[in-house]
């Protein structure tokens, strides 16, 4: 069986709402194709399913997952306006997180029925793609049981540190939302929230640039590494 084909689209810097609307349109497109194919008695009448991998970067925004608490946003509406930060409650899993410049945000729009039917496996694969990318920079990433995302262990740079958040939404086994990988992210923006609702003093956030002691990292290089590992782990071909 040949690999699924996935169209890669780099949206560049795009407002969160615009990217969300675009994701939703593609998500509905996949569900419509799926519904059509299920209505056909002959496989010869099937339409080819489309899959997408979107990369982008957002202006400053906080997003709150459906299981999150507003108490984890430490700014009021006036302060958000003053700081020019958007805020959106959304339908992904997880709590509150930050998106902004210097971060690789990835949105895979995939029909998992054509890959595997295991949401936990899907999340683990996203995490593994980031872990393998970090390994190419001689950084050891890992997981914390019961928490999504990619973490670095406590060391002389600080306590346990989250470098990539993962939050997804599924409908009819079609995915949306995805991951946010801190590459050159201004970590001060996390001070206005309780990231992912985690209040432990022994956990914080970090970025690739901070871990490498660099002012900035080549984001395009990092994107290519993440794309490579995702496509290999999911067994799809990008075009």
pLDDT computed for residue 48 by the predictor: 94
pLDDT computed for residue 147 by the predictor: 86
Looking at the DSSP assignment, which residues form a beta bridge with residue 88?
63
The candidate with the shortest Cα–Cα distance to 3, out of 42, 69, 51, 72, is 51
- Cα distance between the two ends of the chain: 18
Q: How far is CA 122 from the centre of its chain?
A: 12
DSSP state of 99: E
pLDDT computed for residue 95 by the predictor: 80
User: What are the structural domains of the chain?
Assistant: 4-238 (3.30.930.10)
pLDDT computed for residue 96 by the predictor: 85
Residue 132 half-sphere exposure, CB side, CA atoms within 13 Å? 17
Q: pLDDT by residue (tens digit) across 80-123?
A: 889 999 998 887 877 888 999 999 999 999 999 999 999 999 99
Low pLDDT (below 50) residues in the chain:
none
Positions marked catalytic: 196
pLDDT computed for residue 197 by the predictor: 55
Count CB atoms within 10 A of the CB of residue 36.
12
pLDDT computed for residue 196 by the predictor: 58
pLDDT computed for residue 88 by the predictor: 85
Distances (CA, A) of 213 to 34, 77, 183, 223, 233: 47, 35, 12, 19, 29
138 CB-contact burial (10 Å; exposed 0-12 / middle 13-18 / buried 19+): exposed
- Predicted TM-score of the model (pTM): 0.93
Question: Scanning the structure block, which residue is given the tokens 């290089």?
Answer: 221
């Amino acid at each position: 069986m040949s690999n699924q084909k996935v169209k890669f689209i780099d949206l560049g810097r795009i407002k969160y709402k615009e990217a969300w609307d675009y994701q939703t349109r593609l998500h509905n497109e996949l569900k419509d194709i799926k519904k059509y194919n299920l209505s056909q008695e002959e496989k010869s009448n099937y339409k080819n399913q489309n899959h997408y991998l979107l990369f982008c970067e957002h202006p400053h925004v906080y997003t709150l997952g459906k299981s999150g608490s507003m108490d984890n946003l430490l700014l009021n509406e006036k302060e958000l306006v003053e700081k020019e930060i958007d805020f959106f409650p959304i339908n992904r899993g997880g709590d509150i997180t930050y998106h902004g410049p210097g971060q690789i945000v990835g949105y895979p729009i995939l029909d998992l029925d054509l890959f595997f039917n295991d949401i936990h496996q899907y999340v683990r694969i996203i995490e593994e793609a980031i872990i393998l990318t970090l390994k190419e920079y001689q950084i050891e990433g890992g997981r914390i049981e019961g928490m999504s995302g990619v973490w670095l262990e406590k060391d002389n740079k600080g306590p346990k540190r989250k470098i990539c958040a993962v939050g997804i939404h599924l409908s009819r086994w079609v995915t949306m939302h995805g991951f946010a990988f801190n590459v050159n992210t201004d970590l001060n923006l996390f001070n206005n929230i309780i990231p992912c609702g985690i209040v432990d003093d022994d956990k914080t956030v970090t970025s690739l640039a901070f871990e490498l002691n660099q002012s900035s990292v080549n984001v395009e290089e990092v994107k290519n590494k993440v794309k490579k590992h995702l496509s290999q782990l999911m067994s799809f071909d990008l075009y």
